[in-house]
Structure 1
Amino acid sequence: CFPFWQDLLACYVVNTADGNAEGKWKCIPQRDDYFECLHHKKEASMLSLPANYFLAPTVQSDLVNRYYRLKK
């Protein structure tokens, strides 16, 4: 993750060099990339999506079956 850290640090140094802390908001994409490299949260959520799509039809059919059983 060191290259992502270098990008974040370079952005922060360039955008806050004049003492104005407002420039740090320009570095949010670099910060997000660095945090993703450290924690892999987006990757984990993307890996769980196919499983959710695979289970969706069974959950939906169970709900439909319950609804029609209650109407009878």
Structure 2
Amino acid sequence: MKKNPLPMLFFAAALTLALSSFAMPTSSSINGVESKAITFADNDEDKDGVVDEDDLCPGTPADVPVDANGCPI
């Protein structure tokens, strides 16, 4: 009788997700363009989708659309 591989696959996926949540933000440059990896460790106090480190307009009210800098559109 063959064993069902799904429990092991589920465990591997869950472990990968758990370990990736502890990753530190990284950045790289390709052709002179800076790229930042966003991880679960990043903070976004006003929940506008822009991490606090890059947010030029902190404290944006909820339900207000923002640009890439976190400022109201």
Q: What TM-score comes out, normalization by structure 2 length?
A: 0.33
**Which structure's relative contact order is higher, taking Cα pairs within 8 Å and 6+ residues apart?**
1
What TM-score comes out, normalization by structure 1 length?
Answer: 0.33
Structure number having the greater strand percentage = 2
Structure number with higher helix proportion:
1
Q: Which protein shows a greater Rg?
A: 1
